Amino acid sequence: MHSDPVIVARERPDRADVLALLDEHLTDMFATSPAESVHALDHTALLDPRITFFTARDDGGALLGCGALSVLGPDDGEIKSMRTSAAARGRGVAGSVLLAILAEARENGLTRIWLETGAEDYFAAARRLYVRNGFTECGPFGSYVEDPHSVFMTLELSTDSTDSTDSTAPNAPNA
């Protein structure tokens, strides 16, 4: 395991290196799931003002991963576009991004976070990351419908910033 620092910050999703990572993410999503079961957003959708986009970079500025918080309503948010670069897997990148997203959600007064991820083995590491951080499986939410290729999860946020999330959890490639 590398001990290089992971720096998570708000950033626009239309930088060249982020675009490449998001394109890789979309390509993998369509390669592992039927098109009607892919709910990943492209960079233009991630520019929506209801979405806060985060990147994880090393201290040299190299992109390690990304993720986003989409505000669904006054109390609810959704995690979108979680991705760790292949070279950065196993370094805690996804866990760091997840903690930043949850902190942002708390700062915005959100009390529940939702997510949709894949049901295939490819997404097993992502599901383990979410479970380690307190997420539980639930039914579809928002405009989602039952789908054998999707797993829906939720987390009730406490207002206490010492929530039971696991900042040392190994990162998942995708969510």
Measured CA to CA in angstroms, residue 132 lies from 75, 155, 168 at distances of 23, 11, 10
* The pairing of beta strand 150-156 with beta strand 112-118: antiparallel
Q: What is the pLDDT of residue 171?
A: 40
The burial of 37, by beta-carbon neighbours within 10 Å (0-12 exposed, 13-18 middle, 19 or more buried), is given as middle
- Confidence at residue 122, expressed as pLDDT on a 0 to 100 scale: 86
Upper half-sphere CA count for residue 92 (Cβ side, 13 Å) = 17
The pLDDT value recorded for residue 4 is 74
Q: State both tokens at 161.
A: 């910033």
Per-domain residue ranges for the chain? 7-156
To which CATH superfamily is domain 7-156 assigned? Answer: Gcn5-related N-acetyltransferase (GNAT) (3.40.630.30)
Q: Rounded distance, CA 83 to CA 148, Å?
A: 22
Q: Characterise 90 by phi-psi region: left (phi > 0), alpha (psi -120 to 50), beta (else).
A: left
What is the reported pLDDT for 163?
45
pTM equals: 0.85
What integer pLDDT is reported at residue 172 of this predicted model?
42
User: What pLDDT, on the 0 to 100 scale, is given for residue 45?
Assistant: 87
Rounded distance, CA 105 to CA 126, Å? 19
Separation CA 36–CA 65 (nearest Å): 25
CA–CA dist 175, 172 (Å, integer): 7
pLDDT of the chain, 175 residues: tens digit per residue: 455 789 999 999 999 999 999 888 777 776 677 667 767 777 888 999 999 999 999 999 999 999 999 999 999 999 999 999 989 998 999 999 999 999 999 999 999 999 999 998 988 999 999 999 999 999 999 999 999 999 999 999 986 554 444 443 334 444 5
Record the tokens describing residue 23, joined without a space.
């394109």
Q: Is 25 helix (H, G, I), strand (E, B) or coil?
A: helix
Taking the C-alpha atoms of residue 122 and residue 58, their distance in angstroms, rounded to an integer, is 25
Query: What is the phi/psi pair of residue 144, to 5°?
Result: -70, 155
